[in-house]
Structure 1
Amino acid sequence: MAALKYAGMDDTDSEDELPPGWEERSTKDGWVYFANHDEMKTQWEHPKTGKKKRCAGDLPYGWEQETDEKGQVFYVDHINKRTTYFDPRQAFTVEDVVLKPKRYDGNTAALEILQGRDLSDKVILITGGNSGIGFETAKTFALHGAQVILACRNLSKARKAIDLIQQEWHKARVEAMMCDLASLRGVREFTEAFKAKSIPLHVLVCNAAVCTQPWRLTEDGLESTFQICHLGHFLLVQGLQEVLRRSAPARVVVVSSESHRFTDLVDSCGKVDLELLSPARSSYWSMLAYNRAKLCNVLFSAELHRRLSPHGVSCNAVHPGNMMYTAIHRSWWLMTLLFTLARPFTKSMVRVVS
């Protein structure tokens, strides 16, 4: 039987190389089959080796599986804007792939870490998702199928960010909601609007921040850097805490900074002085205000994890990278100059969210 099966076939350089007239395809669930166009037939076994194969892993980033009007599976490469009937995973089938543990470092991009992950069942909320770290975070999650909500003060900029993401993948599920962290009333209105959607919340990324801001008070009478970087997020998490618990396993990610190490919240007598968080104009220094807000982020994250982890909600504070070049420094020309000079030595935006 084997001799008859392979009789008349041309020799090839490799036993896995298909003879003329044969094509390798795959089914929707990843099983490889072989089509003989000369004899108009298909079979599961490789025409030379007699082995069956199955595609390994998920589709690479940017690829999507579709079905044509005849029921034939084909593949769309959204990055290079092309389609093919060849499954891109067929280069790594279960017979020849060697799975090695991945190693990540400071040069690893978030898209590399999430490659192959299906987040289509996740709802992710990101504050300040229209630019910088927040935008790259939102894009990475959206391109892996998650439903992403951008909580932003400027809806016009948020819509432009959504357009950019959907230009990369037209099926990306991204929407914007108004959330002004400089207004406690605005934060409460946002949490009520979110809860009215009756959807889960699997990941809350507290990302929005300001730095090197001139002294000013919010409508609540609080120093703006402290309220935007910390207190607004504190109220946001409290308002959505029950949603997070119902959605467990869930997580809260607080984007903090190593700069929290360069300050404290105690006075000269060693006692906690909460007035340091909203100083008068005469004693205000923008970088010190930012450092104190970031310290509050870290303390808040640790306590939140202690309280919510028994309910399936984890919380982590994240340092994105030293001298990360974003628009956060735009209010002070000297800091902009410093960040510009340091830019060649810092992490790129696509790597910071990893």
Structure 2
Amino acid sequence: MASFLADTDSDDELPVGWEERVTLDGKVFYANHQTKSTQWTHPKTGKKRVISGELPFGWERSVLPNGDVVFVDHINKKTTYTDPRLAFAVEEKDNVTDIRQRFDSSSTALQVLHGRDLSNKVAVITGANCGIGYETAKAFAFHGVHVIIACRDLDKANDAIKNIVKQRHHAKVQALKCDLSSFKSVKEFVEQFEALNLPIHILVLNAAVFALPHATTEDGIEKTFQVNYLSHFYLVKLLRQTLIKSAPCRVVVVSSESHRFSQVTKENLSSNLLSPPSSRNFSAMMAYNDSKLCNILFSSALSHRLQRYGVTCNAVHPGNMISTSLSRNWWLYRLAFALVRPFTKSVEQGAATSVYCATAVELDDVTGLYFNNCLQTSPSKAAQDIELSELLWILSDKMIENALQERSLLP
């Protein structure tokens, strides 16, 4: 997986006498007023561009009596001949992974969605009551998405919803209980969601714990591993048919650059998962690293399985040591996170890559990749190991089945 360098902004500037226009079917063309000619390719870059998607919120296309097409901005009470979606035109790609970088580490989630109208979308986000998940939910809700917050603490989730609605009275946000340390709770969440008869256009697997002491869940599984990875795996398994019926839709798996420090291999994966370390040999940091590698491997395996149904899946790194409640479990980590706070991303910036992968037009058919700072990049070699991802999938299925059988939760 190679990363792609962005063109400079100056490359997009048209020479004097040129104008950018768009056809009714979304193709961008260029008019030269000096020679009275038009062409499909940009006069400087030589590339073709297209627009797609709905008009921004508040805009309407209208045809005048003389046949001219105009665009009416009902919010600002103005009319123009220029399609406002030209601001979000993307280059036609020779290859699906030809992705031009439009945003970077300084971009926020709201900047990524500037001018977008997503009022026909439904999103489910785990762990969205605070931090990066909250900013992701807020950005979606501000742009018309019907957001479902999947959270174990409904009081905190409802407080988050109140904050969003206070800023945007039209926001559609609701919370459903989902405790990722319990397969039973995950199943109950899916049943509650399915009772709403809603599609899922965006699924963001965001929830995570960090630096937990050694503990096992009611399902008999090490807690960090289950919350960060295995319950998300189970959630997607239960929602599989809903995702397929909702296609095109996107799954975004929030991972971390710390996946590069995982020591999981094909040789030790089975023993690590089926026989996790005892409390004496447990490393909270390594457990986190391993879970984040599993997130990327899962994203890759899921993309192979669902791509043909119109479901894409990409993994993301939100940023390093962002000031959220993630570090709450040990005072030393809280101190470290506080010390680096001036040098790291804000939570608004941390949510940008998740939002970008969930909504960017240029990623319509892009799947199975890893993104950092809104740009495709290469994960570790282990994360790119297809055999390892398939082995993880098989073992994950086995672990869930064993846990459900032991607790008599299988139908």
Structures share fold, TM-score greater than 0.5 = yes
- From 255, 259, 272, the equivalent of 1:275 is 272
Looking at structure 2, the residues matched to 101 and 197 of structure 1 have their Cα atoms a distance apart, in angstroms, of 33
CA contact (8 A) 2:210 2:224 kept: yes
Q: Secondary structure at the match of 2:214?
A: coil
* 2:269 aligned counterpart, secondary structure: coil
Deviation at 1:266, TM superposition (A): 3.4
Offset from partner CA, 1:234-273 (integer Å, 9 cap, x none): 1000000100000000111110001011012238xx4434
SS at match of 2:314: strand
The one-letter amino acid of 1:212's match is A
Give the letter aligned to residue 160 of structure 1: D
The residue type paired with residue 315 of structure 2 is A
What's the offset of the Cα at 1:95?
6.3
Residues in 2 aligned to 1:307 and 1:97: alpha-carbon distance in whole angstroms: 37
How far has the Cα of 1:214 moved from its partner? Answer: 1.1
Counterpart check, 1:313 vs 2:300: no
Aligned to 2:256: 257
Kept in 2: contact 1:108–1:351 (CA 8 A): yes
Pick closer, same or farther for the CA change 1:136–1:28 going to 2, 3 Å. closer
1:186 & 1:98 partners in 2: Cα distance?
42
How far apart are residue 274 of structure 1 and its match? 3.5
1:272 maps to a residue whose letter is: L
| 1:143-182 pair list within 5 angstroms | 143-182=142-181
Question: Which aligned pairs between 1:48-127 and structure 2 lie closer than 5 A?
Answer: 54-55=70-71, 75=75, 86-87=76-77, 90=78, 93-94=80-81, 99=86, 103-127=102-126
Give the 3 Å change call, closer, same or farther, for CA 130–301 of structure 1 in structure 2: same
Q: Would the aligned equivalents of 1:181 and 1:227 in 2 still touch at CA under 8 Å? A: yes
SS of residue paired to 2:60: coil
Cα distance change of structure 1 residues 222 and 145 upon mapping to structure 2, 3 Å threshold = same
Say which SS state the counterpart of residue 275 (structure 1) adopts: helix
Which residues of 2 match residues 281-296 of structure 1 at below 5 A? Answer: 281-296=279-294
Residue 203 of structure 1, CA deviation: 0.7
Partners of 2:71 and 2:83 within 8 A in 1: no
Q: Which amino acid aligns with 1:155?
A: L
Q: Distance in 2 between matches of 1:190 and 1:217?
A: 21
Q: 1:28 to 1:258 in 2, by over 3 A?
A: closer
Percent identical across equivalent pairs?
A: 49
Q: Distance in 2 between matches of 1:95 and 1:166?
A: 33
Taking structure 1 as reference, are residues 200 and 95 closer, same or farther at Cα in structure 2, changes over 3 Å only?
A: closer
Flag the 1:96–1:340 CA change in 2: closer, same or farther, 3 A.
same
1:353 Cα offset (Å): 1.5
Partner of 1:130: 129
Q: For 2:88 and 2:192, how far apart are their aligned partners in 1?
A: 42
Q: Report the CA distance between 1:161 and its aligned residue.
A: 0.2
Q: 1:94 to 1:185 in 2, by over 3 A?
A: same
State the match for 1:297 in structure 2.
295
Aligned to 1:15: none
Could you tell me how far apart the structure 2 residues matched to 1:250 and 1:96 are?
26
Quick one: which of 339, 342, 346 aligns to 1:341? 339
The residue that corresponds to 2:221 in the other structure is 222
Match of 1:327 among 322, 325, 328: 325
Deviates more, 1:339-348 or 1:155-164: 339-348
Distance in 1 of aligned mates of 2:182 and 2:60: 50
Amino acid at match of 1:350: E
CA contact under 8 A between 1:120 and 1:144: conserved in structure 2? yes
**1:98 & 1:320 partners in 2: Cα distance?**
27
The structure number with the bigger radius of gyration is 1
| Matched residue, 1:23 | none
- Secondary structure class of the residue paired with 1:235: helix
CA deviation profile, 1:34-77 (whole Å, cap 9, x unmatched): xxxxxxxxxx99xxxxxx99457xx6xxxxx6xxxxxxxxx4xx
Match of 2:29 in 1: none
The verdict on how the C-alpha distance between 1:96 and 1:213 changes in structure 2, with shifts beyond 3 A counting, is closer
Q: Does 1:197 align with 2:184?
A: no
Structure 1: 5+ residue stretches without partners: 1-26, 34-43, 46-51, 60-64, 66-74, 76-85
Aligned match of 2:98: none
| Contact 1:265–1:274 (CA under 8 A) maintained in structure 2 | no
Work out whether residues 264 and 295 of structure 1, in 8 Å CA contact, stay in contact via their aligned partners in 2: no
Q: Gaps spanning 5+ residues in structure 2: where?
A: 1-57, 90-101, 353-411
Residue range with higher mean Cα deviation, 276-285 or 249-258: 276-285
Distance 2:247 2:85 in 1: 34
Q: Give CA-to-partner distance per residue, 1:77-129, whole Å, 9 cap, x none.
A: xxxxxxxxx52xx4x83369895668322111111121121111111000001
Q: Quote the Cα distance in structure 1 between the aligned partners of 2:322 and 2:254.
A: 12
Q: 1:174 to 1:98 in 2, by over 3 A?
A: closer
Deviation at 1:142, TM superposition (A): 0.5
2:60 maps to 29
**Deviation digits for residues 142-189 of structure 1 (CA, Å, limit 9, x no counterpart):** 010010000000000000000000011111000000000000111111
Please, which moves more after superposition, 298-307 or 316-325?
A: 316-325
Q: CA deviation at 1:28?
A: 7.5
Residue 139 (1) aligns with residue 124 (2):
no
Does the 8 Å contact 2:71/2:82 carry over to 1? no
Give, as a single letter, the amino acid of the residue that structure 2 aligns with 1:222.
Answer: I
Aligned residue pair count: 281
